[in-house]
């Protein structure tokens, strides 16, 4: 029997590439993908440790982000571990964003109400839940590039900043990530120890997140919330509050509207063609510019809710 293979055209690094279409299999849900690749997350903590706990944006029971700084001490029960996620898809890859929210960025210089930083994972389709090929994290106003062992990716417009270490959770190897105390910049996890020795380790959960037992809880859990879900942050993107301007949470402590969602995350030094939000809205293009050695890599989206 003759088997016909379909192809799609992709444009990578300025060259036309013929990309085999992944064979048809039972569809994997976004929730399954998000859980499969959700990082084991190492969150450093400091003296006002509750401000370093992961939380939902509406941790205090409402979507008014203008009171999130001041409501922190009165609502510790609301600080349940949470990660927001989104999935977009090309013919060859899934691109999964994870976004971690904190009510305060309380670093010494330029603190502000609300904080959201996180990462993008590039996962090659393989007929199952895929193969991780790269990670880009956001720390303040800079993106950092990492690859796991065995990835063919090498640096392109940006250097590779390190390796993605994995840790087995629920029977599968998950990437690991780290966030600073106070300012919450997100990086890869080095495999060492927390600065100062204390910190919270969050594991992804299929169910509810937990409030850490203390600033050194090594078995906390976070739940996964779809950014595109009904009543979620993407659906509220034109509402004030929670947003004071496009992609920026309404905040009035120390700085106005200083915390951003993934569709406004930006590395201000990586080129004028890589506009704010590209890490979420056009991740295939971002990855094609940050890395080389991509192999078959489509830039054409099968679905991308950010782009309509």
The string of pLDDT tens digits covering residues 76-123 is 999 999 999 999 999 999 999 999 999 999 999 999 999 999 999 999
Lookup: tokens for 117: 């930083």
* C-alpha closest to that of 281 among 60, 79, 102, 120: 120
Residues 6+ apart with CB under 8 A from 243: 65, 236, 237, 249, 250, 257
Per-residue pLDDT averaged across 17-27, rounded?
A: 51
What whole-number distance in Å separates Cα of residue 38 and Cα of residue 303?
21
pLDDT category of residue 2 using cuts at 50, 70 and 90: very low
Per-residue pLDDT averaged across 286-297, rounded?
A: 98
| pLDDT tens for each residue of 262-284 | 999 999 999 999 999 999 999 99
Burial 121-152 (b: 16+ CB within 10 A, else e): bbbbbeeebbebbbbbbbbeeebbbbbbeebe
Per-residue pLDDT averaged across 32-55, rounded?
A: 96
Is 90 exceeded by the pLDDT of residue 20?
Answer: no
The answer to whether 57 touches 91, Cβ cutoff 8 Å, is: no
Residue that has been written with the tokens 């990586």 in this structure: 270
* Phi, then psi, of 286 in degrees rounded to 5: -55, -50
- Judging by DSSP bridges, how do beta strands 82-90 and 301-303 pair with one another? antiparallel
% of the chain at pLDDT higher than 70: 92
Lookup: tokens for 225: 């919330």
Per-residue pLDDT averaged across 127-132, rounded?
A: 97
Mean pLDDT taken over the chain: 92
Helices (H) and strands (E) in the chain, counts: 3, 19
What whole-number distance in Å separates Cα of residue 88 and Cα of residue 120?
11
pLDDT category of residue 3 using cuts at 50, 70 and 90: very low
pLDDT category of residue 25 using cuts at 50, 70 and 90: low
Q: What is the DSSP letter of 192?
A: S
Q: What is the DSSP letter of 243?
A: E
Every domain of the chain and the residues it spans:
7-22+29-307
Per-residue pLDDT averaged across 203-219, rounded?
A: 97
């Amino acid at each position: 029997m003759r088997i016909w293979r379909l192809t799609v055209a992709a444009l990578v690094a300025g060259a036309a590439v013929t990309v085999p279409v992944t064979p048809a299999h039972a569809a994997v849900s976004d929730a399954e993908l998000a859980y499969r690749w959700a990082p084991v997350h190492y969150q450093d903590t400091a003296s006002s440790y509750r401000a370093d706990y992961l939380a939902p944006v509406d941790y205090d029971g409402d979507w008014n982000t203008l009171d999130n700084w001041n409501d922190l001490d009165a609502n510790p029960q609301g600080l349940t571990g949470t990660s927001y996620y989104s999935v977009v898809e090309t013919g060859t890859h899934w691109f999964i964003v994870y976004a971690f929210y904190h009510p305060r960025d309380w670093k010494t210089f330029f603190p502000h109400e609300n904080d959201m930083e996180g990462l993008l994972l590039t996962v090659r389709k393989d007929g199952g839940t895929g193969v991780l090929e790269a990670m880009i994290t956001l720390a303040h106003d800079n993106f950092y590039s990492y690859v796991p062992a065995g990835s063919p990716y090498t640096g392109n417009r940006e250097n590779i900043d390190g390796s993605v270490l994995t840790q087995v959770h629920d029977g599968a190897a998950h990437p690991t990530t780290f966030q600073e105390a106070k300012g919450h910049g997100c990086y890869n996890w080095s495999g060492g120890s927390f600065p100062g020795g204390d910190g919270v380790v969050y594991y992804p959960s299929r169910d509810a997140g937990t409030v850490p037992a203390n600033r050194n809880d090594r078995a906390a859990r976070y739940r996964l919330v779809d950014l595109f879900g009904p009543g979620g942050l993407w659906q509220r993107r034109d509402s004030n509050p929670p947003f004071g301007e496009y992609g920026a949470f309404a905040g009035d402590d120390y700085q106005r509207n200083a915390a951003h969602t993934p569709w406004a995350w930006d590395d201000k030094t990586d080129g004028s063609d890589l506009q704010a939000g590209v890490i979420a809205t056009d991740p295939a293009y971002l990855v094609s510019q940050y890395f080389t050695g991509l192999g078959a890599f489509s830039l054409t989206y099968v679905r991308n809710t950010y782009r309509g």
